Amino acid sequence: MSITVVVPPTTTLLTTLDRLKAELGITVTADDPVLSDMIERASSAIARECRRTFGRETVAETLDGTGTRLLGLSVTPIVSITSVTEDSVTLASTEYSIEDAESGALYRLNGWGRSSGLRMWGTEAFASGYIMPGYQDRRYTVTYVGGYLLPPGATPNLPGAIEQACLETVKTWFAQRDGVVSDATSVKIGSLSVQYSGAPSDAASQFGLPAVALGLLRNSYARALG
């Protein structure tokens, strides 16, 4: 399986500076560059943790047939299908439909199948030592638009828990930026108060994704995190 980005997302940031400052109770602009940089890094860390890009993009995904009527695409939610090819032959748009946009399921009545003939040499037969012919899966390339509209778009649809995970991450990092002793369980700077969950030595409180952010991600995006 392979994915090629055809049109990248216009932004990868999972929240906005204004929303973050509202959470922190900050009204001045002195820390804007630091906060903006932290939003970018937190968004990148969350994308890495979830093993995906959240922003809406156009991709070409190539994968083998499943032998069933459903084909699972990776970039979700599916927004629209541009084209589908089966072994380089373009399928009519009436042959398939989006079954479940959020889970990435593409439906085809005739199935996403395997070849009817023996088109490749397969594995060695254990008893005889001869190479036995095997089946070649049909290869599909789906070009489609998938992903979320991220804030501050006019109609963002990123799940709130994912944006909150980004906010919680930056809030923790911002509180720690001047250095917090390793055995601290909470910190208060101005109107900002952060309470760490887990043991003080927990890596979540040591400038990685904090435990509260990981919890939000796992509860709202369990499929990506396994």
Domains and CATH numbers, the chain: 13-54+151-225 (1.10.3230), 57-146 (no CATH)
pLDDT tier at 220, thresholds 50, 70, 90: confident
Tokens of residue 210, six digits: 């904090």
- Give the pLDDT of residue 128: 53
pLDDT at 218: 87
More confidently predicted of 104 and 198: 104
Mean pLDDT score, 66-87:
95
> Is the pLDDT at 57 greater than 80, yes or no?
yes
Q: Tell me what percent of the chain is helix, strand and coil, each rounded to the nearest 5.
A: 30, 30, 40
Strands 139-146 and 78-86 come out as antiparallel
Q: Name the more confident of 149 and 198.
A: 149
Give the pLDDT of residue 225.
Answer: 46
Average pLDDT, the chain: 82
Is 22 a residue whose pLDDT tops 60? yes
With a cut of 80, say whether residue 89 has pLDDT above it.
yes
pLDDT, position 184:
44
Closest C-alpha to 20, from 167, 130, 131:
167
- Produce one character per residue of 133-148: b if its CB has 16 or more CB atoms within 10 Å, e if not: eeebbbebbbbbbbbb
Which range, of 42-51, 108-117, 138-147, averages the lowest pLDDT? 108-117
Per-residue pLDDT reduced to its tens digit, 161-199: 999 999 999 999 998 876 553 334 454 444 555 554 444
pLDDT of residue 133 exceeding 60, the answer is no
Alpha-carbon distance 133 to 154, whole Å?
Answer: 55
pLDDT of 177 reads 76
Is the pLDDT higher at 115 or at 138? 138
Nearest to 14 by CA among 52, 51, 40: 40
- Give the residue with greater pLDDT, 20 vs 128: 20
